[in-house]
Amino acid sequence: MSGLNKIIINLKKEISSINNIKKLNIFKVKYLGKKGYISSQFLLLKKLTKQEKIKKSIIINNVKKQIKELIKKQKNKLEFNDIKFQVLNKKIDISLPGRYIKIGNQHPITIVINDIEKFFIKLGFKITASQEIEDIYHNFDALNISENHPARTEQDTFWLNKKYLLRTQTSNMQIRIMKILNPPIRILTSGKVYRNDYDKKHTPMFHQIEGLLIDNKINFLKLKGILSLFLKYFFKKKFKIRFRPSYFPFTEPSLEVDIMRENNKWIEVLGAGMVHPNVLSNNINLLNYSGCAFGIGVERLAMLRYNIHDIRLFFENDIRFIKQFK
């Protein structure tokens, strides 16, 4: 044991003189490496008897363990001294302004949805939400969409099974709202909808905003007035607006709204109409109340506002694209 103590004392003296990590690594190789001191001591055990091997190996392992502890302590000490040196010698100008960390930009789709909601909230509409996984009744049947309508085919719609699908429009909220609320009703909902289509003007998933207004004396004139005010607010400039008759199963009469672009060409921006009696009769007294509804394609309005020609840019997650919008 006296020999062991002598070795440890010498090792402590040697390691205490080490003043950097590089020299410490050399020390580690010298004693713990494949050709180091400890390995050489184990090789000498071959010449000893079994009892002597056991005694000697215990001593060698104790030395090895203590060497590891000494290296660990010295490494911690050197690393601490290095950090302390850097802190004490690093000059900090406290008069300099703090570094500005730029926060992320809102997505243009989010900006447009918020802007649309802001307008309709001022008109007394309340924001609500509806589920994206929908049943046949609320997505088709209750909205007066016939069983042979092409929207029900697998070519147009993402079916989960024979009963449930990914909703094809945000109109699915209409029946649910009529069943839980009594008129007057002013509801706006936004969210993702799904159609089996993909090109530079269509994506399998996109966003819609649906508005529903049910009250006394709601007529076509009021609907046109609301939509005209909205388009002037959204685009913040004067342009020609055209209302033309159209067809939607859940509204009657129905219309589509076009605006005149700079190239003197008309482009459709939204669809609307008076709620069809077959739809409105869900918990609503047709003698006392009438209603109108409108659907807005968010991507369509965003593309027109920001002059974007490919809808797929909204979903490619290119930071350079996102940074352009405020």
Question: Which domain CATH number covers 164?
Answer: 3.30.930.10
123 and 73 both lie in a single domain: no
208 and 264 both lie in a single domain: yes
> Where would I find the H helices in the chain?
2-16, 21-32, 37-43, 50-89, 108-122, 136-139, 173-180, 220-235, 277-280, 298-306, 319-322
Radius of gyration of the chain (CA): 38
Q: Is residue 102 part of a domain?
A: no
Q: What is the pLDDT of residue 200?
A: 65
> Which amino acid type is present at position 159?
W
Q: What is the pLDDT of residue 144?
A: 84
Domain range for 241 is 108-322
117 and 73 both lie in a single domain: no
Task: List phi, psi (to 5°) of 203.
Answer: -130, 155
Task: List phi, psi (to 5°) of 257.
Answer: -110, 130
The residue among 89, 117, 133 that closes a domain is: 89
Q: What is the pLDDT of residue 257?
A: 92
221 and 305 both lie in a single domain: yes
262 and 199 both lie in a single domain: yes
120 and 232 both lie in a single domain: yes
Q: Is residue 101 part of a domain?
A: no
Identify whether the C-beta of residue 238 lies closer than 8 Å to the C-beta of residue 232: yes
Separation of first and last alpha carbons in the chain: 77
pLDDT tens for the chain, 326 residues long, are 455 667 778 888 888 888 888 888 888 888 888 888 888 888 888 888 888 888 888 888 888 888 888 888 888 888 888 887 777 777 767 787 877 777 778 899 999 999 999 999 999 999 998 889 999 998 888 888 888 777 777 778 888 988 898 998 898 888 889 888 888 999 999 999 998 777 666 788 889 999 999 999 899 999 999 999 999 999 887 788 899 999 988 898 999 999 888 788 888 889 999 999 999 888 888 889 999 999 999 999 999 898 888 888 888 888 888 888 87
- The domain tally of the chain equals 2
41 and 171 both lie in a single domain: no
HEC readout, 201-237 = CECCEEEEEEEEEEECCCCHHHHHHHHHHHHHHHHCC
Q: Is residue 212 part of a domain?
A: yes
| Cβ atoms within 10 Å, residue 276 | 19
Q: Is residue 223 part of a domain?
A: yes
Identify whether the C-beta of residue 224 lies closer than 8 Å to the C-beta of residue 243: yes
259 and 302 both lie in a single domain: yes
| Cβ atoms within 10 Å, residue 186 | 17
79 and 42 both lie in a single domain: yes
80 and 215 both lie in a single domain: no
Identify whether the C-beta of residue 173 lies closer than 8 Å to the C-beta of residue 210: yes
Q: What is the pLDDT of residue 65?
A: 87
Q: What is the pLDDT of residue 1?
A: 47
Q: What is the pLDDT of residue 58?
A: 84
Q: What is the pLDDT of residue 126?
A: 94
| Strand, coil or helix: 155 | coil
Q: DSSP labels for 87-125? A: HHH----TTSPPPP-PPPPPPHHHHHHHHHHHHHHHTT-
Global confidence as pTM: 0.65
Q: What is the pLDDT of residue 82?
A: 83
Closest CA to 131 of 167, 178, 180, 177: 167
